[in-house]
Amino acid sequence: MAVVASELGWPSYQISPVERWRGDEHADQEDCIAEEVPIALLYNGEPHAVMLATPLDLEDFALGFSLTENIVASPCEVYSIRVYLRAEGIEVRMRIPEARCETAADKGRNLTGRTGCGLCGARTLQQAIRRPAPVGQGVQVSSDELTQVLAELTDHQRLNRITGAVHAAAWVVPGRGIQWVREDIGRHNALDKLIGALARRGADLGGGFVVVTSRASYEMVQKCASVGITFLAAISAPTGLAVRLAKDTGVTLIGFARGDKHVVYANPQRLLHNEA
């Protein structure tokens, strides 16, 4: 796969003057504000979707989106990714097999994908609620390692430290800690970026687990299961649909993972606890 990225010149955040108040006292200061930009995804020249996303790691985003939306079956089917700056936003143009492009046209979204929604613009219930195949055996994770990862994750969230407004998705390999982190104002975009980054590097997606700084909504489980990731931990709550999908596909789903506390919602066999 050839990746050609232009020099975008589109910052991931802006600096803006603000009034900062505490009680009756205020100060004129500057604040860093995360950007969200329309990202148009095109396959073989044909528009597919427009997503609102943070303009970082867009090649990873494009590949991850293509995989988790089942537009392509493997990274090798994305022949090239080219990123272009436009006046209204950013275009990401991909070349894929023509047969896949016809399938993508059937799945095309007719609305802009909102920042907080991974399903916006899907035109049918079948498009929105996909059921991936069951995942494999996957990894086993100790509760101590999960606690350690949660303690270290903040240090890997560069953009969030600046703006306080973006989610992170982290890839962890048991015994090796956090390997990759991707950030975006949309939780599903951050996960797509992470999956794309892993796919570009040929990572074993059954050999690690994902931690996200968000709730575990349905599409987060769907995206993990669709590429064979077997373990997802979120710092906030899951949804009922996410729990049902995790049980159906065999994904271990952890919610409220904060400090040394967590709740196991589905498939607890992969999380190992120290016996008292």
Query: Where does a domain end: 128, 159, 186?
Result: 128
Query: Where does a domain end: 128, 156, 173?
Result: 128
Which domain range does residue 64 map to? 37-128
pLDDT tens, 105-156?
Answer: 666 554 455 555 554 555 554 556 688 999 999 999 999 999 999 999 999 9
Tokens of 186: 């949309």
Coil, strand, or helix at residue 229?
Answer: coil
Decide if 168 contacts 189 (C-beta within 8 A). no
Q: What are 30's strand-pairing partners?
A: 17
Q: Are residues 109 and 148 in the same domain?
A: no
pLDDT tens, 18-44?
Answer: 999 999 999 999 999 999 999 999 999
* Domain count for the chain: 2
- Eight-state DSSP code of residue 269: G
Task: Give catalytic residues, as residue numbers.
Answer: 117
Q: Are residues 151 and 245 in the same domain?
A: yes
Look at residue 230 and tell me if it is in a domain.
yes
Q: Are residues 121 and 225 in the same domain?
A: no
Percent of the chain with pLDDT over 70: 87
Look at residue 136 and tell me if it is in a domain.
no
Domain with residue 164: its CATH number is 3.40.140.10
Domain with residue 55: its CATH number is 3.10.20.10
Decide if 250 contacts 135 (C-beta within 8 A). yes
Look at residue 23 and tell me if it is in a domain.
no
pLDDT tens, 177-232?
Answer: 999 999 999 999 999 999 999 999 999 999 999 999 999 999 999 999 999 999 99
Decide if 210 contacts 191 (C-beta within 8 A). yes
